Structures are given as C-alpha cells and as structure tokens.
Amino acid sequence: MSRDHLAQLREAAPVILPSLLLCDFGNLEREVERLLAAGVQALHLDVMDGIFVPNMTYGMPIVAAFRKLTDLPLDVHLMIEKPEQYIRQFQQAGADVITIHAEAVDDVASTLRDIHSLGCGAGVAINPDTPVDAIVDALPEADLALMMSVNAGFGGQAFNPIALDKIREVRRLNSDVLIEIDGGVNLDTIGRCTEAGADLLVVGSAIFGKPDYITAVRDLNSAAVAAS
C-alpha cells in the first residue's frame, strides 16, 4: 500500500480496522477470510516487544504471514523500543503503514522520514498521557497520527476519552494527517470517535469478541457513519 493506499483510506473514511491482537492465531487464514467477508478494508497488526509495553505479541514473521494471506493494506502498530532499528525489516515483511510510538524514539520526525524512505506510510502514536505537544513538530512528516484511547499493551481495556480532545487538537494543528484512534473502540464509543474527527478506527475486542464478524463490523460501521 505504502502511501497510495492511504489516499484510498482517506477517501473511504471513517474506516474500521480490525486489530489482530485478540484473533485466533491458530487459524489466521480463516480469520482473514472472515474479515474479508465482513468487508474490512485494511488490517491493524499489533506488534509488542515486552519492553516498551508489558506484553508480547508477534514480529516480522507474522506480518509476512498476513502479507501472504491478503492484499489488504497492513497497518503495523509498533509498540516496541528502538523501532527505528526494525522498520526496514517490517517493510520487507510487507508492512504498508508503519506507526511508531513517539515515546519510544528520540527524533520522531527523523524516524518518520526513514519510514517514508522505505516507501511506507509513516505514522506516529501517542499514549493517553502523552500530550499532542510531543508530536506537533513531527506532524508535517506524518501520514497518520494515532491517538491511543488505552495505554498501549492490551486489548479489551476501557476507552479513555482524553483521546477525543487530542483528535480535535491534532486536526486543528494539521488538516492533512490521517487521524487514527485505537483502544476500547466499540458500539458505545465509536460514534464519539468519528464525531471528534477520527478517520481510522481500530477495533479489537468489539469484533473478535463477537461470534459473527459480519454483524459486528456492519453495526460498528453504521454507528461510525451515523455520527460522522
């Protein structure tokens, strides 16, 4: 996808991205088929290293496995220390958008430029307690700004509405960047996210905790569009 798909996602906004964190990792092919049947337009892959966040998930091999299973854009959320050391490997594994946490790098703008030089879309994420000030200088280099509505590390957490104020603040500062929200997005909160101006809505437990992905995504889409 690199940066081209981002234009498609912008056109289609608001777009729901399933978070591949609470899915059935023993049946990735079936999970992707079920998500495709539900009409999702991109996948959000949650990479965790057990250092930047107190949890571990997966790395390049699983990204490469998803790359083999689908042509959908892969939105890779790096919740890892020293992400600048791994962006080339994630690009080679098939990532289309690579999002790093501002809290994990010394120079956000430089890391975003490095991601762009690999042909990928470049995103910067901040946790709920990190102010937008931390990324304001880097926003011109970003294709995507991810406002976390939970502390990165686990699915199934409660939504923190501070992310809504930060979405509005980012939009005031930059009219071009795609704004993504991640964490506790569900039928009760998704309308507030699109109302605040979120373009991309990452959803984990509100899809993977449901028996039928088609119904879950359809209902989430309806709630998102109704409020946008």
Cβ-count burial of 196 within 10 angstroms (0-12 exposed, 13-18 middle, 19+ buried)? buried
**Alpha carbon distance 74, 41 (integer Å):** 10
Distances (CA, A) of 75 to 51, 72, 188, 225: 21, 9, 24, 21
Catalytic annotation present for 75: no
Q: Give the residue with the Cβ less far from ligand 5RP, 59 or 155.
A: 155
Min dist. Cβ of residue 93 to ligand 5RP (A)? 18
Q: Give the interface size with Co ion as a residue count (CB under 5 A).
A: 3
Q: Are 193 and 150 in contact (CB under 8 A)?
A: no
Q: Are 120 and 142 in contact (CB under 8 A)?
A: no
Which residues ranging from 28 to 67 are in contact with Co ion (CB under 5 A)? Answer: 46
Residue 12's contacts (CB-CB under 8 Å, 6 or more residues apart) are: 41
Q: Give the residue with the Cβ less far from Co ion, 96 or 175.
A: 96
Regarding 199 and contact with ligand 5RP (CB under 6 A), the answer is no
Amino acid in position 32: V
Q: Give the interface size with ligand 5RP as a residue count (CB under 6 A).
A: 22
Q: Give the residue with the Cβ less far from ligand 5RP, 157 or 174.
A: 157
Number of Cβ atoms within 10 Å of the Cβ of 160: 18
Catalytic annotation present for 46: yes
Q: Which residue of 77, 101, 166, 192 would you call a contact of ligand 5RP, by CB under 6 A?
A: 77
Q: Give the residue with the Cβ less far from Co ion, 94 or 184.
A: 184
Cβ-count burial of 20 within 10 angstroms (0-12 exposed, 13-18 middle, 19+ buried)? buried
Structure tokens at 20: 């591949």
Min dist. Cβ of residue 17 to ligand 5RP (A)? 9
Which residues ranging from 21 to 40 are in contact with ligand 5RP (CB under 6 A)? Answer: 21
The one catalytic residue among 46, 75, 114, 199: 46
Q: Which residue of 34, 67, 77, 192 would you call a contact of Co ion, by CB under 5 A?
A: 77
Partner from Co ion, ligand 5RP, none contacting 153, C-beta within 5 to 8 A by type: ligand 5RP
- State the residues that interact with ligand 5RP by CB under 6 A: 19, 21, 44, 46, 77, 79, 150, 152-157, 182-185, 202-206
